Amino acid sequence: MNLFFAYKLFWLNYAEFKGRSVRWEFWYPLLWHIAVMSILTGITKLGDIFDLLGFNPTVGIIVVAVGNILLVLYEIAIILPCITVIVRRLHDMNVTGWIVLVGLIPAFGQAMILLLMCSKSSPGPNKYDSI
């Protein structure tokens, strides 16, 4: 499966809690998120570079503000799709989607969810859907 299709599928199923998602449907969009977040974080750091290069401080402040706004908007936009893909991924392992609430536990819960996302799919049909 290619990265572009996985990211498109991630956004097309942004509110779909039913069904199943295989491992690549979680991991490929995660790679996209890392890339997008890195770019947006880099934009927020441009203000420091502009200061070092001697640009007008106002330019740096505007670039940082725009970068921060874009970063926050992107983070808000991916909350629901991330939750739904994790729930579908849990369904693929024949586990209830309510386990996603474990991710609310700082550090430990998030590490547990990340480890669960590495698990293999349950073979054949299960109670959540059939492949």
Please classify residue 89 by burial: count the beta carbons closer than 10 Å to its beta carbon, then call 0-12 exposed, 13-18 middle and 19+ buried.
Answer: buried
Q: Are 71 and 44 contacting, i.e. CB atoms less than 8 angstroms apart?
A: yes
What is residue 38's predicted lDDT score, i.e. its pLDDT? 95
Query: Rounded to an integer, what distance in angstroms lies between the CA atom of residue 92 and that of residue 4?
Result: 22
Residue 69 has pLDDT above 90, yes or no: yes
Query: Rounded to an integer, what distance in angstroms lies between the CA atom of residue 43 and that of residue 111?
Result: 28
What is residue 130's predicted lDDT score, i.e. its pLDDT? 56
CA angle 6, 12, 16 (to 5 degrees): 105
Q: Are 42 and 114 contacting, i.e. CB atoms less than 8 angstroms apart?
A: no
Of 74 and 1, the one with more pLDDT? 74
Neighbours of 115 (CB within 10 A): 9
Q: What is the pLDDT of residues 85-112, one digit of tens each?
A: 999 999 999 899 999 999 999 999 999 9
Q: What's this model's pTM, rounded to 2 decimal places?
A: 0.86
